[in-house]
Amino acid sequence: MESDLPDVTAKLNVATDSRLITAARDGDVCVIADRFALDQFISEIDPTAPIAVDAERAQSFRYSSKAYLIQFNQTACGTRLLDPIALANATGLADLSELNTALAGCEWVIHAASQDLPCLAEVGLVPQHLFDTELAGRLLGFSKVALSPMLTHYLGIQLAKAHSADDWSARPLPESWLTYAALDVDFLLELRDAVANDLAIAGKTAWADQEFANEIARFATTPDDDPERWRNVKGLGHLRQPRQLGIARNLWHVRDDLAQRLDVFPGRILPDAALVEAAANLSHLTPQQVSSTINTLTGFTGPLAKRQRRAWAGAVITALNADASQLPRRQRSQGTPPPRVWAHINKSAARRWEKARPAVIALAEEYGLPPENLMTVATLADIVWPDDLDISESGLRLAMAQANVRPWQQDLAAPVLVTALA
């Protein structure tokens, strides 16, 4: 199959040199920290023009994944940094619904939007129109899609970046941090225009539009509280006995409650590895042995963990005393099994996979796409796993639509999979 896209190898916008940017273009950046400044910003917004948006979180420091600083840049008003903590109400969140209304007609330009959309939605900021420069870079086949290399590639600049891993919940925010934050949006609109031009040259504008709409639908929401979140503990798969899982679950709840009360990242109280190790080592003890043993284990000897020794011990003892019917079991996957095991459990599906996956990879290479941006492994597995799969083009399109494969992906992949699976 030959690609019908134009050859853009020699047409991409490429900067020939680069310069280091160390200061915000507006000089001293304006921080919106009260209602008067917010109202003024709202009055300055051009409701029809694109606006660059970014957010800073403190996920490795705080329990919450909320935004601690939100950056904006628009030609009409320059760069503005909004402090949602200073604007917070009694619930601990800022009410930015009026700002969201003012931005309704704007295209929001965000780099790596899937990371920022949830925390923006938490304060009522949800775009109706989106342009994700990182995702656009993936569609164009770039191997490096972080903001800095893309700015260097297109605009010939490098950003002085040194504060990405800092605690953005700190107040007051140092001037150097504010400069760093401003730089994240200072050149984003120019980057958007350059990337959009290359998408048009490559014939991929419609693809990008569908991907951006999908990002809004998937990520511009606040996550529901999942009672099974404890199963996300890294390394939990090493625990196989229900008693061990019961201890891990109970320790997780003690840690989570404490982390939430103190607004501290849970891993700073007790690392996942220490929690899993404790569950494995304590499951064979008697309840009387727990208190004297748990304080000697890795992760439980720090000052904060030590102060909770009664709570830790109580959680373990509760699991040790629990009836077997009250203990959790290892979860069996409710979805499609991973393709690596198909040869043992469904040979016909394995044969379909052996044909479909190489075909998708080759198709992605033909169009200059990372394979996962054409179709992820999990999505393709969901499509080809059923033995009653209709391998006509209409049947495959229906299966793809049910798996949230966008129309542009269906247009490319359906004919290829028909041939591969025939």
Q: Is 3 within a domain?
A: no
| Tokens standing for residue 276 | 């899993």
Q: Give yes or no for residue 5 having a pLDDT over 80.
A: no
Q: How confident is the model at residue 360 (pLDDT cuts 50, 70, 90)?
A: very high
Q: Is 239 within a domain?
A: yes
Model pLDDT, residue 224: 78
57 and 185 in a single domain? The answer is yes
185 and 67 in a single domain? The answer is yes
Q: Is 122 within a domain?
A: yes
The single-letter DSSP state of residue 65 is: -
Residue-averaged pLDDT of the chain? 92
Q: Phi and psi at residue 34, in whole multiples of 5°?
A: -150, 170
Q: Give yes or no for residue 7 having a pLDDT over 50.
A: no
Model pLDDT, residue 2: 44
Q: Is 377 within a domain?
A: yes
101 and 213 in a single domain? The answer is yes
Give the mean model confidence (pLDDT) for residues 392-410.
97
Domain limit, last residue, from 169, 197, 219: 219
Range(s) of the domain holding residue 295: 229-326
Domain limit, last residue, from 263, 291, 326: 326
Q: Give yes or no for residue 8 having a pLDDT over 70.
A: no
Q: Is 5 within a domain?
A: no
Model pLDDT, residue 137: 98
Model pLDDT, residue 93: 77
How far is Cα of residue 226 from the mean position of the Cα atoms in its chain?
17
169 and 74 in a single domain? The answer is yes
Q: Phi and psi at residue 78, in whole multiples of 5°?
A: 75, -155
Q: How confident is the model at residue 6 (pLDDT cuts 50, 70, 90)?
A: very low
SS (H, E, C) 147-176: HHHHHHHHHCEEECCCCCCCCCCCCCCCHH
Residue with tokens 């394995």: 350
Give the mean model confidence (pLDDT) for residues 244-256.
98
113 and 188 in a single domain? The answer is yes
Q: Is 213 within a domain?
A: yes
247 and 392 in a single domain? The answer is no
350 and 322 in a single domain? The answer is no
Kindly state the percentage of the chain with pLDDT values over 70.
95
| Tokens standing for residue 414 | 């359906």
Count other Cβ atoms within 10 Å, centred on residue 52: 26
Model pLDDT, residue 302: 84
CB 273 within 8 A of CB 235: yes
pLDDT in tens, 361-395: 999 999 999 999 999 999 999 999 999 999 999 99
Count of structural domains, the chain = 3
pLDDT in tens, 165-212: 899 999 999 999 999 999 999 999 999 999 999 999 999 999 999 999
Range picked from 38-47, 157-166, 296-305 for highest mean pLDDT: 38-47
Which region among 36-50, 136-150, 216-230, 349-363 has the lowest average model confidence (pLDDT)? 216-230
210 and 300 in a single domain? The answer is no
The single-letter DSSP state of residue 338 is: P
302 and 170 in a single domain? The answer is no
Give the mean model confidence (pLDDT) for residues 69-77.
96
196 and 320 in a single domain? The answer is no
Which of residues 327 and 28 earns the better pLDDT score? 327
Contacts of 363 (CB under 8 A, 6+ apart): 1, 374, 412, 413, 416
Q: Give yes or no for residue 1 having a pLDDT over 80.
A: no
Model pLDDT, residue 13: 57
The single-letter DSSP state of residue 24 is: -
Q: Is 92 within a domain?
A: yes
Model pLDDT, residue 313: 97
pLDDT in tens, 75-105: 999 999 999 999 997 667 788 999 999 999 9
Domain limit, last residue, from 270, 299, 326: 326
- Predicted structure pTM score: 0.89
Model pLDDT, residue 295: 86
Q: Is 2 within a domain?
A: no
Model pLDDT, residue 160: 73
Here the CATH number for the domain that contains residue 195 is 3.30.420.10
Here the CATH number for the domain that contains residue 322 is 1.10.150.80
210 and 83 in a single domain? The answer is yes
Give the mean model confidence (pLDDT) for residues 278-294.
96
281 and 243 in a single domain? The answer is yes
CB 219 within 8 A of CB 114: yes
Q: How confident is the model at residue 163 (pLDDT cuts 50, 70, 90)?
A: confident
